[in-house]
Structure 1
Amino acid sequence: MTRCRLCGSAALASVVDLGATPPCESFLAADQLDRPEPAYPLHLRVCTDCWLAQIPPLITPEETFTQYAYFSSYSTSWVEHARTFVADAVQRLDLGTDAFVVEVASNDGYLLKSVVDRGIRCLGIEPSVNVGAAARDAGVPTLTEFLDPATGAAVRAEHGAADLVVANNVYAHIPDVVGFTRGLRALVADDGWVCIEVQHLLTLIEENQYDTIYHEHFQYYTVASAMRALASGGLTLVDVELLPTHGGSIRLWARPAESAGEPMRRVAEVLDREKAAGLQELSGYAEFSARVAKVRRDLLRFLIEAAERGETVVGYGAPGKGNTLLNHCGVRPDLLPYTVDRNPYKHGRFTPGTRIPVLPPERIAADRPDYVLVLPWNLRAELVEQLSFVHGWGGRLVFPIPELSIVEVAS
């Protein structure tokens, strides 16, 4: 990477280098285990001119998202988060049955299903063929496309301008941030709203959430850098909410520049927090790499010592972030013989790079391991409850982020 993808500056500084890993959702079928597996550098840098944190665009969205292993509906808490968002947005924007809502990267329809249930016209734009088909099966109108200005203009011409465009957990996933933002502007009505949820770089740094750095996430936003990105497509930030999702996210409410008006007070408040944390100077990033290295040492020490004591450790979940962690730490089946996941698409497959088998969740109760390493740590409250049965045989949960912690769960 030689230039910032947002402002074009060559002033890029290293934040953390995680080596080379395969794409985090490229799970392997059994017949692929003896084939070569490509790995790509995973090196986070920050632009010292516009302060957008980013990794090189070494893989294309087409390689990752045409067939996708992640289905949002398998997370109970995430579906509830989406349902609550829809209810709040309908009230906030006074959306009636004559409104039109578009969601970009709509996945399996987990969010728009709540819009359909309210009788509001909607459309999902989802590039992944398999998850888009699941959305249509659930009754959610879904277009299989990537968003760019041409797609946005075509949807607007066919369906009309959107009163609300939702782009949750996708703004980090596109290397052409300017073109994508212009696509959002093409979709939204001149007096409409764009709502974006994306992980907050502030909490990523503060809470040591380095496993959310992976090849699907091309950039990592502060509110300050998000404002610059939105402006590149003719959108202006009006309001921001701080959310607990994904370990700490920002919900950005933006409008076309000509109708935006003055931003709400919360925007200035979050900008002040980011500035106080040093995220607009290199000092704010200085210690991050050392804290990342400590996570690796602590997790490996725990796994090795458990193995030497004859104790069993298995994984729970097979999320993209887990594959960053496992590859960076060099964990293999000798230390983690398998992980489990609720998504049947992943059953019988193997994690990229580390080749750890992914099995159905029922395997944990059958094997009664001493420890369960929880890889989707961002769902901690949900999973502590789901895994309470582990207490029945004296098992414990292990969370690797932000620092290693071992939890005794109540039955």
Structure 2
Amino acid sequence: MRMMTCRLCGSDDLTGVVDLGATPPCERILTADQLDEPEVTYPLHLRVCTSCWLAQIPPLITPEETFTDYAYFSSYSASWVEHARAFVAGLDLRPDSFVVEVASNDGYLLRHVVERGVRCLGVEPSVNVGQAARERGVPTVTAFLTPESAQAVVAEHGKADYVVANNVYAHIPDVIGFTEGLRTLVADDGLVSVEVQHLLTLMQLNQYDTIYHEHFQYYTVASAQRALASGGLTLVDVELLTTHGGSIRLWAAPSGAPSQRVSDVLAMEKAAGLHDISGYIDFTERVAKVRRDLLSFLITAAEEGSTVVGYGAPGKGNTLLNHCGIRPDLLPYTVDRNPYKHGKFTPGARIPIFEPERIAADKPDYVLVLPWNLRDELIDQLSYIRDWGGRLVFPIPTLEVV
């Protein structure tokens, strides 16, 4: 049996945190023609390296398998577009500044840079979402970030004052090579901004559904600091964000010293036991309780004749559905704003995906919210279900009926 080694430090001293069984990749949405075909599943077992404390899963699929044609379009979340707008508004941009975003998706962030008349470039591997960005007027090249592709960008466009990498640092198995690419892109006096989910909130708030095959690793500030250093970047500041259930914005530079905020967050992580094994040992049982509570609710609702449908078809939702063994008998369908997913089926669970208007037409008793990280946005969007006495159900961090 091939032993897994840490992709950051090379140690083979990895300890299991939670084993979610085997699931298909979360974004491999099925067409009707594929329902009678087999699906390949892969183990989903989170481990933590007890040498550098990087939490990770085995790299069983490649980024090319997932991101060449991608089902996720960032601009369908109004709150995420606003988050990006506020970020850009806070940058110290000059008329001659140059901003590069890695994994720029459909231009959700760089569109705000374009509006300010500042030169920018997106580096996006997915052909379909990159085309959507170009149609919005956002200059975008189709490429995965490597040291070589970064050199090509610099040769044509020059070094960037700001390099942005939102929700991609977990998606690449070659952490060191990707970080070297970030360093290549940024000017010696520039800044790199990396946003990624914080392992601290993932553990504390039972956000285990964010563990899926696209996410190869899960960061604390301590492990992110080591990862950035591996590619020649120094962590100089950190911000705690509410996005995606709790994220960190890491500010890195070619040189500098960590701020007091870095020290403060490192102290928080240490107190939570994430710099040793103590913070990981009871996670499996807490995950099992989330599963039991959700299944108990769905089974009881079915036995009472109440209707429950889903809202959203995000990657995290597919981890939850498959780990819990939820099928159309308990959740007959879900809806999603992304028309790319309409008429298709969730991987593994094979739950139909319809347009959002289906909820108003059917008037279900309950709506199970799968993208729980958009709680405030969706409570507002779905407020109309009150008209017939409908209620929202949030499965994470603990079951809540609103």
**TM surpasses 0.5:** yes
Q: Deviations over 1:328-380 (max 9, x none)?
A: 00000000000000000000010000000000000000000000000000000
- What secondary structure sits across from 1:20 in the alignment? strand
Q: 2:100 aligns with which of 95, 99, 102?
A: 102
2:383 matched to 1:388?
yes
2:292 matched to 1:297?
yes
The runs of 5 or more residues in structure 1 that have no matched partner are none
Q: Distance in 2 between matches of 1:2 and 1:221?
A: 18
Q: Which residue number in structure 1 is paired with residue 82 of structure 2?
A: 80
**Structure 2 counterpart of 1:114, one-letter code:** H
Q: 2:17 aligns with which of 15, 18, 24?
A: 15
Q: Which residue number in structure 1 is paired with residue 181 of structure 2?
A: 183
**Structure 1 counterpart of 2:346, one-letter code:** T
Q: 2:134 aligns with which of 119, 133, 136?
A: 136
Q: Which residue number in structure 1 is paired with residue 372 of structure 2?
A: 377
Q: CA deviation at 1:277?
A: 0.4
- What secondary structure sits across from 1:6 in the alignment? coil
Q: CA deviation at 1:315?
A: 0.1
Is the contact made by 2:198 and 2:247 (CA closer than 8 Å) also made in structure 1?
A: yes
**Structure 2 counterpart of 1:238, one-letter code:** V
2:30 matched to 1:28?
yes
The runs of 5 or more residues in structure 2 that have no matched partner are none
**Structure 2 counterpart of 1:365, one-letter code:** A
Q: Deviations over 1:377-405 (max 9, x none)?
A: 00000000100000000000000000000
Is the contact made by 2:234 and 2:257 (CA closer than 8 Å) also made in structure 1?
A: no
Q: Which residue number in structure 1 is paired with residue 197 of structure 2?
A: 199
Q: Distance in 1 between matches of 2:153 and 2:382?
A: 43
Q: Deviations over 1:263-316 (max 9, x none)?
A: 111000000000000001111101111000001111111101100001100000
Q: Deviations over 1:30-75 (max 9, x none)?
A: 0000001000000000000000000000000000000000000000
Q: 2:352 aligns with which of 349, 357, 369?
A: 357
Q: Distance in 2 between matches of 1:88 and 1:17?
A: 40
**Structure 1 counterpart of 2:274, one-letter code:** L
Aligned pairs (5 A) from 1:4-403: 4-89=6-91, 94-256=92-254, 260-403=255-398
Q: Distance in 1 between matches of 2:138 and 2:248?
A: 26
Q: CA deviation at 1:197?
A: 0.2
**Structure 2 counterpart of 1:65, one-letter code:** F
Is the contact made by 2:74 and 2:105 (CA closer than 8 Å) also made in structure 1?
A: yes
- What secondary structure sits across from 2:252 in the alignment? strand
- How many residues are paired up? 400
Q: CA deviation at 1:95?
A: 1.6
Q: Distance in 1 between matches of 2:228 and 2:256?
A: 15
Q: Give the TM-score normalised by the residue count of structure 2.
A: 0.99
**Structure 1 counterpart of 2:40, one-letter code:** P
**Structure 2 counterpart of 1:188, one-letter code:** V
Q: Distance in 1 between matches of 2:71 and 2:293?
A: 29
- What secondary structure sits across from 2:44 in the alignment? strand
Q: Distance in 2 between matches of 1:385 and 1:287?
A: 35
- What secondary structure sits across from 1:305 in the alignment? helix
Is the contact made by 2:191 and 2:252 (CA closer than 8 Å) also made in structure 1?
A: yes
Q: Distance in 2 between matches of 1:120 and 1:190?
A: 20
**Structure 2 counterpart of 1:15, one-letter code:** V
Q: CA deviation at 1:261?
A: 2.1
Structure 1 runs (4+) deviating above 6 angstroms are none
Q: Distance in 2 between matches of 1:17 and 1:218?
A: 14
- What secondary structure sits across from 2:231 in the alignment? coil
Q: Distance in 1 between matches of 2:299 and 2:256?
A: 57
- What secondary structure sits across from 1:334 in the alignment? coil
**Structure 2 counterpart of 1:177, one-letter code:** V
Q: CA deviation at 1:27?
A: 0.2
Q: Distance in 2 between matches of 1:318 and 1:70?
A: 10
Q: Distance in 2 between matches of 1:262 and 1:254?
A: 10
- What secondary structure sits across from 1:378 in the alignment? helix
Q: Distance in 2 between matches of 1:211 and 1:204?
A: 9
Q: Distance in 2 between matches of 1:49 and 1:163?
A: 34
Q: Distance in 2 between matches of 1:313 and 1:330?
A: 16
- What secondary structure sits across from 1:41 in the alignment? strand
Q: Deviations over 1:208-252 (max 9, x none)?
A: 000000000000000000000000000000000000000000000
**Structure 2 counterpart of 1:104, one-letter code:** V
- What secondary structure sits across from 1:80 in the alignment? helix
